[in-house]
């Protein structure tokens, strides 16, 4: 018997593909350690620990259904001879599309405008003059496939682009900034598109938000852990920054309650990377990784 266990909710086309290839397919509601489990499908947020791997002695592959893999214990998997794979870039274009939508919604006040019209406050809402993306200064934290796709779109809007990563990329024409705080101070819009994990936990804190300033906007499509939520709520309430848009947040799927009490904030349910095209790409990568591992080969998107 061959069994695959998915620790995340998967859409019907993905489930159908798994059922066609495995004797048993178990979801998040079933305890780990079912007989014959040879593959686990997870993501960076749910991950998989060494102790959990020990429950599945036949496990051959842990496949992340996205690019993130921060909570998979890579050392434990390596010690046990288990492949860990992911799907880098498969949803990057979808994430970038959504990011531009969030940038526009935050900066142009799309949601407050909608609510005002519904309340009959047309003239009052129209009297508020809001900034626009064209000519604004954009700082991007992270310049992987997602960050690069965001920058390309922002360039088409005529934005002035800078980025912050551990090291500069000589192949890029955009300005690299070694200091996140300095880049925030030079930005009208700060977009987070970096990996999660301890290395980036709360890198956007009160100091960075203060540097972004009362005319600045924050957009997070990375991980909720990247932003200090308490500091963000304070900055929004006290107008230390102009506004924010979050597709990811600490505590998801249940947002930190204080986030729901601020008006200058757009919230979406971690759906930036979800589209039919992205799902097809992630599914194809998932199946290719699993089939390679089970046939004794190296998965095409193996980590490490």
Question: Which residues are marked as active site?
Answer: 223, 252, 270
Q: How many CB atoms are located within 10 Å of the residue 8 CB?
A: 15
CA distance readout (Å), 28 to 4, 6, 64, 92, 288: 11, 6, 14, 26, 23
Residue indicated by tokens 């998932």: 286
Nearest alpha carbon to residue 60 among 301, 290, 260: 290
Q: Is 240 left (phi over 0), alpha (psi -120 to 50) or beta?
A: alpha
Three-state secondary-structure class, residue 169: coil
In contact, 4 and 32? CB cutoff 8 Å: no
* Interacting residues of 46 by C-beta distance below 8 A, sequence separation 6+: 7, 8, 71
Whole-angstrom distance, CA of residue 121 vs CA of residue 54: 60
């Amino acid at each position: 018997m061959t069994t695959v266990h998915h620790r995340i909710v998967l859409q019907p086309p993905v489930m159908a593909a798994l059922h066609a290839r495995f004797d048993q397919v178990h979801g998040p509601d079933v305890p780990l350690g079912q007989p014959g489990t040879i593959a686990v499908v997870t993501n960076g947020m749910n991950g998989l620990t060494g102790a959990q791997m020990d429950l599945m002695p036949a496990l051959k592959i842990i496949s992340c259904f996205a690019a993130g893999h921060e909570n998979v214990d890579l050392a434990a998997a390596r010690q046990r001879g288990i492949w860990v794979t992911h799907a880098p870039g498969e949803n990057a274009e979808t994430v970038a599309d959504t990011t531009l939508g969030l940038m526009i919604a935050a900066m142009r006040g799309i949601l407050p405008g909608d609510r005002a019209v519904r309340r009959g406050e047309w003239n009052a809402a129209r009297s508020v003059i809001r900034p626009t993306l064209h000519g604004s200064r954009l700082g991007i934290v992270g310049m992987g496939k997602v960050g690069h796709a965001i920058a390309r779109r922002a360039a088409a809007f005529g934005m002035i682009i800078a980025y912050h990563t551990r090291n500069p990329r000589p192949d890029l024409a955009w300005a690299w900034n070694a200091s996140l705080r300095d880049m925030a101070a030079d930005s009208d819009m700060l977009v987070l598109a970096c990996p999660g994990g301890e290395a980036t936990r709360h890198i956007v804190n009160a100091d960075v938000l203060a540097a972004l300033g009362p005319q600045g906007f924050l957009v997070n499509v990375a991980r909720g852990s990247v932003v200090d939520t308490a500091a963000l709520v304070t900055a929004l309430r006290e107008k230390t920054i102009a506004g924010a848009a979050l597709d990811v947040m600490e505590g998801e799927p249940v947002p930190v309650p204080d986030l729901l009490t601020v008006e200058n904030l757009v919230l979406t349910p971690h759906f930036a990377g979800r589209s039919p095209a992205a799902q097809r790409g992630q599914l194809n990568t998932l199946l290719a990784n699993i089939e390679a591992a089970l046939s004794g080969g190296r998965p095409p998107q193996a980590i490490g």
